[in-house]
A and B are shown apart, each in its own frame.
Chain A
């Protein structure tokens, strides 16, 4: 350790400041990477991680501060420029062209040995070499659209290695991977670091950060709030550095006696957008007072299932019963009338109207009913009183109830939606990705609220890609794969490994 500290870092960012209109995205940040280490940049959404990395990759230019590569000041004006300095980036949203082959994707932007003609043969050969030496299995001639998410990520990594990247920026690389894919990719990251590269790992997943990092730098509001190592800290310390106060990572779950099944789904088939079955013969039930978590990688029918329950997508066959009513072919309004509250996955698309102000979004379900509406006229005093009450009760941080909703942070918009939905006293609560892109503080609050629903006798379903979230909230965990439930396990019997296995399609019931 001590000998390492004396080495000059490969890369140093000194006093980086970047301003956007109205925001100080990066405030005098120092950051460095040494050869052979994984240095994590931890922080919430909007803490300034991405800004810092975009500066390092030449996508933005800093207003103040300098970047040193092996002790020399460099000027990064474009991605091409960053690449030529040996800086490679694995983007969170893969930078791949699905309609091109792996080799074509890798060769983009490279100087061809054959002048104006492409030279895919040479490129393919080197891809195979790189893929062999790091255990990154890919086939150069396959089209990217044919690849799984994990394979696409390998292509991303190969793209950077092909360009001899000595510094690799990994921008939330595990966001879309299954737990076993995460394990595999971590082995590769470690191998890359051991081979003398410097890795910058960007994440907000505390467990992964502790697993992979050599050093951890925490950012909050564009400022460095701490530097530590996995040996010196645990999840709670990191969460505190990120948020600025102690955070409860799992909500309290007092014992609650479960009651009747309030949501019952029998042999449900739902078509996806492209016509094929997205949900295939799904059967499950959720009892009063319990939280059923649905784990799984996105795109395995969760969205279609949620929309079918909410009445937004007509099932092809099967039966959905909510609170004793057959709602299989009901319209969304009718489903709500029998007691469903729905927190949709896309909060700005389906959950709230961005251009409406806070109070308008808060009464959106009841705007045509007493007391908010009398004979077709809106009753503003009742609306205001109700909105003030909800904003306070659910701790929605907003300048006023007349603020345009899209100006709130993701966490506060989600709290606003939760307030509206829970205020309806649901029999069944369906929450899809309730804390995706939400800061830890708000996530903690939302988890607490969902957990409280158990005492109210609500039957809750939480659909989430975040396994930690599912584990923390649920009484029972169902794993969805390819439109089917691979198995339902009690929370206390569930392990990350067993759930992770089911997420890849290994049947536990068989």
Chain B
């Protein structure tokens, strides 16, 4: 195996790791936002599935990939609105209602797929968007600057969300409400508005994550996400509720996945052990969680409904 071949493989592995990390990143950014405001959403995977189907179907009908992304986001926003209503107005228990959202998304996306599409037909994914100049650099260019537009959007959202959380009054409100909603309310900050918006935007991102996945794979099938949404929730804890941390978590997860795939391709792992190897990312995530997440404290008001004067 020549050196240049090894470099090629490494570059391809990293590039594919970044691509694989993208849906996780989008979903966990959304989940992090919701949790920072004090609301847990276990239904991410269901939202992703609906977003994925919506995007797939829209692209199948119109061949417009951007419309697909918008449909994915739109479905996410809609479920977010519903989830916000049941948790914030009706004070539903967040753990259980999140699971309800997941099951709804899982079943509904499959039902719609069976009814509207039936036999899977592939769609064309985004072409890689090569960033002028930068993509021309050897190695780095191929690794970082020859991705589809969704990848750039996802990674651009990391500094944007950091900025919003730490430099804007809205972000300050979100952080305060996730820790002590009484304090925010006593100063006239609307707990309802802040949580509603955080949940809706968060779910919109989950919908986008699903759309990104379906478009990237160019296909939809039952349970396409295969519990990616749950991994995304774990990554929020791994990333200590910070956009940067969540990004690192997603990248680690994507890279491990990509390495396992490469190893399988090259037969490093025997066929008999390939299923075991597929579990590696999940196991590594759990181990990392145990080591990393213990050191950080979750938002104090997480999962606690707020009632004024209560």
Interface set of A (CB-CB < 8 Å, partner B): 54, 57, 59-60, 78-81, 83, 89, 91, 93-100, 104-105, 107-110, 112, 116-118, 159
Q: In terms of DSSP, what is the predominant structure of the interface of chain A?
A: loop
Of the candidate stretches B21-29, B96-104, B162-170, B209-217, the one touching chain A is B162-170
| Other-chain residue from A60, A93, A97, A98 in contact with B309 (beta carbon distance below 8 A) | A60
Q: How many residues of B contact A (CB 8 A)?
A: 22
Residues of A within 8 A of B142 (CB): none
Q: Is the CB of B187 within 8 A of A100?
A: no
Interface centre among A54, A78, A80, A97 (most CB of B within 10 A): A97
Q: Is the CB of B308 within 8 A of A108?
A: no
B130 contacts chain A at the CB level, 8 A cutoff? no
Give the distance in Å from the alpha carbon of A89 to the alpha carbon of B186 in the complex. Answer: 9
Q: Which residue of B lies closest to A80 (CB)?
A: B188
State whether A159 and B172 are in contact (beta carbons under 8 Å apart), knowing that A59-B308, A97-B180, A100-B179 are contacts in the complex: no
Minimum C-beta distance from A99 to chain B (A) = 5
Minimum C-beta distance from A155 to chain B (A) = 11
Give the distance in Å from the alpha carbon of A110 to the alpha carbon of B169 in the complex. Answer: 9
Q: In terms of DSSP, what is the predominant structure of the interface of chain B?
A: helix
Q: Which residue of A lies closest to B179 (CB)?
A: A97
Of all A-B residue pairs in the complex, the 3 with the closest CB atoms, nearest first, are: A80-B188, A109-B187, A95-B183
Q: Is the CB of A96 within 8 A of B183?
A: yes
Q: Is the CB of B188 within 8 A of A83?
A: yes
Residues of A within 8 A of B188 (CB): 78-81, 83, 109
Residues of A within 8 A of B32 (CB): none
Interface set of B (CB-CB < 8 Å, partner A): 167-173, 175-176, 179-180, 182-189, 300, 308-309
- Total A-B pairs, Cβ < 8 A: 74
State whether A98 and B187 are in contact (beta carbons under 8 Å apart), knowing that A59-B308, A117-B168 are contacts in the complex: no
Q: Is the CB of B187 within 8 A of A108?
A: yes
Give the distance in Å from the alpha carbon of A79 to the alpha carbon of B182 in the complex. Answer: 11
| Other-chain residue from B170, B187, B309 in contact with A83 (beta carbon distance below 8 A) | B187
Residues of A within 8 A of B170 (CB): 116
Residues of B within 8 A of A109 (CB): 173, 184, 187-189
Give the distance in Å from the alpha carbon of A83 to the alpha carbon of B184 in the complex. Answer: 13
Q: Which residue of A lies closest to B185 (CB)?
A: A79
Q: Is the CB of A108 within 8 A of B189?
A: yes
Residues of B within 8 A of A159 (CB): 187
Residues of A within 8 A of B167 (CB): 117-118
Interface centre among B176, B184, B309 (most CB of A within 10 A): B176
User: A97-B184, A110-B187 given. 10 additional CB < 8 A pairs?
Assistant: A57-B186, A79-B187, A95-B186, A95-B187, A96-B183, A100-B172, A108-B172, A108-B187, A116-B169, A117-B169
Residues of A within 8 A of B179 (CB): 97-100
Give the distance in Å from the alpha carbon of A163 to the alpha carbon of B153 in the complex. Answer: 40
Q: Is the CB of A99 within 8 A of B308?
A: no
Give the distance in Å from the alpha carbon of A89 to the alpha carbon of B185 in the complex. Answer: 12
Give the distance in Å from the alpha carbon of A81 to the alpha carbon of B188 in the complex. Answer: 8
Residues of B within 8 A of A94 (CB): 183
